[in-house]
Amino acid sequence: MTADRATGPAHPLIRALALWGTVIAAMWVLLFIDWITPTALTQWGIVAGTADGIFPGLIAAPFLHAGGGHLISNMVPLAVMGTIAALRDWRAMWIALAVIVVASGIGVWLLTDTGRPTVGASGVVFGLFGYLLGRGVFLRRFGDIAITVLLVLVYGSMVWGIFPSQPHISWQAHLFGFLGGLATAFALARSGNETRRRGGAPGAG
């Protein structure tokens, strides 16, 4: 029995914290490398309108930040909402993250006109915000509705970030990440409803 427990899957909370702790630690490592090396890693962000500006920036940009303050502002909501998303549905979280990263990156690439690389995890933060809100609206489960209410109370003012405000803040990443998260929640809820209508097992939640 002891051996089975030792080799079994990790507790969901431990797994979620390990994932997002590793992600945030990687962001700090990259920022430290950026500080101590002469080459700016932020050059690997998304550069709008150029053929080579979408890749590898699409994947690299969320891990890169312009400074410690930039990373700190994203770190806490990323950890909080990422952990909640992982605990609600591990598999769905990965689907949501893939859609959010792609949607946010394409929005930046299509609509940003500064000519400078865009970096930062804020598009993912807004995407997770939209995804978790969408779960409450579309899935209509008590736990997801309660999370939606709590997020609105704590992070509701974030919604203003999807509108143009300051020139150095990428509202494009925020808006398209948010829409990507909402769209994922809607698609997953619709898929779960189709499964139940066909007599299949309900989706995890």
Q: Is residue 203 in some structural domain?
A: no
Residue 64: domain span: 2-197
pLDDT at 167: 77
Q: What is the mean pLDDT of the chain?
A: 89
Number of folded domains that form the chain: 1
Q: Is residue 204 in some structural domain?
A: no
Q: Is residue 202 in some structural domain?
A: no
Per-residue pLDDT band for 165 (boundaries 50, 70, 90) equals confident
DSSP states of the chain: -HHHHHHSPPPHHHHHHHHHHHHHHHHHHHHHHHHHSSS-GGGGSB-TT-TTSSTTHHHHGGG--SSHHHHHHHHHHHHHHHHHHHHH-HHHHHHHHHHHHHHHHHHHHHH--S-S-B--SHHHHHHHHHHHHHIIIII--HHHHHHHHHHHHHHGGGGGGGS--STTS-HHHHHHHHHHHHHHHHHHHHHHHHHHHTT-PPPP-
Per-residue pLDDT band for 197 (boundaries 50, 70, 90) equals low
Q: Is residue 132 in some structural domain?
A: yes
Tell me which of 30 and 8 has the higher pLDDT. Answer: 30
Rounded to two decimals, the pTM is: 0.89
Domain CATH for 28: 1.20.1540.10
Q: Is residue 205 in some structural domain?
A: no
| CA atoms of 133 and 91, how far apart (whole Å) | 17
Flag the least confident range among 38-52, 57-71, 181-195: 181-195
For 56-109, write each residue's pLDDT tens digit: 999 999 999 999 999 999 999 999 999 999 999 999 999 999 999 999 999 999
Q: Is residue 48 in some structural domain?
A: yes
Tell me which of 6 and 48 has the higher pLDDT. Answer: 48
Per-residue pLDDT band for 6 (boundaries 50, 70, 90) equals very low
Q: Check whether 203 has a pLDDT greater than 80.
A: no
Q: What is the mean pLDDT of residues 153-172?
A: 91
Q: Is residue 167 in some structural domain?
A: yes
Q: Is residue 181 in some structural domain?
A: yes
Flag the least confident range among 35-39, 120-124, 201-205: 201-205
